[in-house]
Structure 1
Amino acid sequence: MHKSEKPETLAEFTAPGMKSESAKETIALLDNRMVALIDLQLTLKHIHWNVVGPNFIGVHEMLDPQVESVREMTDTIAERIATLGGVPLGTPQSIVDRRSWQDYSVGRGLVTEHLAELDKVYSGINKDHRDALNALAELDPVSEDMLIGQLAELEQYQWFVRAHIESATGELKS
């Protein structure tokens, strides 16, 4: 296959009772979420390796369970894409090609710097998950239910992050 050629992304079948057009739209939504979650798990690991300063160890240890959970979410989405007749593409270049956001910009940095940026990452991920839920409500309640469970976990992870950057007045530090 040449670089300009793309592999087939929809098989001849989908889940019984689902129309092909609904499957295609669902697969596209799920693919976007899969790409975002692959990016998130890599970003979380990047932060884990590069966070320094006060409270370093607490943040360092908080991130590994999030990485594992997000990895499981990614696998669940990829398997749902395959169930619907799609082809989950998770190769590095395919992920980069399908991203619509900028790369995480902090290298080695203080806890507060990383967590402020991670809060922004979670805000984007969680908003886009919620937007996908709205579309999936009409297309595929099974996929909608899957993302609802994931969103509950992702919002909790953002709460963990925000708990570290919240000031004594209850306002988020910028």
Structure 2
Amino acid sequence: MASEGTPRYTVPGLTVQGAGTVVELLQQRLHSLNDLHLTLKHVHWNVVGPHFIAVHEMLDPQVDRIRDMADDVAERLAALGGIAHGTPGSLVEERTWEDYSVGRADAIAHLGALDLVYNGVLQDLRAAIKTVGDIDPATEDLLIEQLRDLEKFQWFVRAHLETAGGTLTTAHATTETEAAQQSIDQ
């Protein structure tokens, strides 16, 4: 009997074992995207300060696109014969990162923290692309499309954090709270 993570069947031209590897990676991508859209809504609801409206309105299109990305990942996961686990409990139990740590805060502080969030999401996504590229070009294509959009969203965030000299205010931060503090100290 196949484990819950190993599909019993998959798409033509892909082995069940290969599909199992891709399904595992896609499940982490699904968790990452669900967590990211919830984090962005948290920021949307808790941002304050002079840049409030710019950040508040910048985030909703990102949330919408990231929700669409999650749907695409879940559907690909199912097409490969896997089971898309999208419940809050499975996300919290299976994620490999800590929960977003900034509450009500200045817009620039949240953007500093979001820059680090995007760093983590993008690093994990690039690693997943590298792995699936050898197994399934259709999934690789899906993830590359998402990479382009997520990098654009990080660019939107970073545009608020870049100095006139071309450096990021969060360049040396290792935690969200450090990034939030460094971005408002500049």
Unaligned runs of 5+ in 2: 171-186
Once the two structures are superposed, the pairs formed by residues 58-73 of structure 1 within 5 Å of their partners are 58-73=54-69
Q: Given the alignment of the two structures, is residue 41 of structure 1 paired with residue 32 of structure 2, yes or no? A: no
Alpha-carbon distance in structure 2 between the residues aligned to 1:167 and 1:75: 36
Is the partner of 1:40 in helix, strand or coil?
A: helix
The aligned counterpart of 1:145 is: 141
Q: Equivalent pairs: percent with the same residue?
A: 52
Please give the TM-score of this superposition, normalised by the length of structure 2.
Answer: 0.88
Gaps of 5+ in 1: 1-6
State TM-score, norm by structure 1: 0.94
Instruction: Note the aligned Cα RMSD (angstroms).
Output: 1.1
Summarize deviations over 1:97-143 as a string: whole Å, max 9, x none. Answer: 01110110000000111000000000110111111111011011000
Matches within 5 A, 1:103-114: 103-114=99-110
Q: Deviation at 1:10?
A: 4.0
Q: Give deviations 1:17-71, integer Å, cap 9, x for gaps.
A: 2101000000011111111000000000000000000111000000000000000
Matches within 5 A, 1:11-90: 11-90=7-86
Structure 1 residues 70-95: Cα deviation after superposition (integer angstroms, max 9, x where no partner): 00000000000000000000011001
Q: Is the 8 A contact 1:9 1:88 kept in 2?
A: no
2:93 match: 97
* Letter matched to residue 173 of structure 1: T
Would you say how many aligned residue pairs link Structure 1 and Structure 2? Answer: 168
Asked whether the equivalents of residues 52 and 110 of structure 1 are also in contact (C-alpha less than 8 Å), the reply is yes
Residue of structure 2 in register with 1:154 after alignment: 150
